[in-house]
Amino acid sequence: MEQILCLKNVTKYYGFGSVVTKALDGITFDVEAGEFTAIMGASGSGKSTLLNVISTIDKVSSGEILVRGKLLNKKKEKELSVFRRDELGFIFQDYNLLDTLTIGENIVLPLNLRRSGVRETKMELRRAAEALGIANQLEKFPYELSGGQRQRAACARAVITNPALVLADEPTGALDSGNSKLLMQTFQMMNETLGSTILMVTHDAVVGSYAGRVLFLKDGKIWSEIYKGGRSRQEMYREILSVTAALGGEADV
């Protein structure tokens, strides 16, 4: 199976002189095509920093990050901009939809940025919108949709370019429990039906239980790792709670 993401001894420091914080401490792991991986850990464990360096929003202090075998560390900003546009899909907890654009116009923004043709744009919009169940919402504006529908629109925008990797940062943070469940079912569909490779940061044990694999961070290091395998989501949820308790923290339930 194709290796999508590879981190080799990634370390990240913040600060200068005598006031230095090691946010990431020798992180090493791989993500293969079609995996749905969650990153969990207490506040300050390094989850957001990890997502930031993978997305090239921030730079590593040492170590290597490769996506589809291409080393990101040495790329210039212009190359990184193209990389983010073509190889990454982003899903945030606050949707990041533009209120002045329709849902359809929001979804095709990544294609417009890379100047895709009209025919390709229409075809990919239809594919993404139908897969995510919002084909009848494309002419509406974000304020006319529910929170769950807006997140599905954000998901459609994230996958419309068929990116190598979809990065999700606390995607259910702004949703109630009902819409959180619907969104995570959408993530499962994206992963299983569309073949999306997903890396998601979450503090919520219920949300984490939808992933096929969970990495737990503590003090900037990978402390533990669990796989769902053939187990049920409920069994995965219980194991997440058990590992979280062993970490000395509390996960949202």
**Cα(106)–Cα(153) distance, integer angstroms:** 8
Q: According to the model, what pLDDT value does residue 96 have?
A: 85
**Residue 225: CB atoms within 10 Å:** 12
Q: What is the dihedral angle through the alpha carbons of 111, 114, 115, 121, rounded to the nearest 10 degrees? A: -20
Tokens for 148, please give them.
């769950």
pTM higher than the cut 0.85 = yes
**Cα(62)–Cα(59) distance, integer angstroms:** 9
Q: According to the model, what pLDDT value does residue 122 have?
A: 93
C-alpha Rg value of the chain to the nearest Å: 18
Where are the strands (E) in the chain, listed by range? 3-16, 19-32, 36-41, 62-67, 70-71, 88-92, 165-169, 198-201, 213-218, 221-227
Q: What superfamily in CATH does domain 34-62+76-247 come from?
A: P-loop containing nucleotide triphosphate hydrolases (3.40.50.300)
**Cα(213)–Cα(53) distance, integer angstroms:** 20
Divide the 253 residues of the chain into consecutive groups of 10 and give the mean pLDDT of each group: 94 86 95 96 91 93 94 89 91 86 95 90 93 93 91 92 93 85 90 93 94 96 94 94 82 55
Beta-ladder partners of 14: 21
CA distances, 41 to each of 46, 49, 91, 140, 171 (Å): 8, 12, 19, 37, 16
Q: According to the model, what pLDDT value does residue 182 have?
A: 87
Three-state DSSP class for 80?
helix
Tokens for 78, please give them.
């212009």
Domain boundaries, given as residue ranges, for the chain: 34-62+76-247
Beta-ladder partners of 89: 166
Tokens for 27, please give them.
């992180």
**Cα(184)–Cα(38) distance, integer angstroms:** 12
| Kind and range of the H or E run holding 180 | helix 177-192
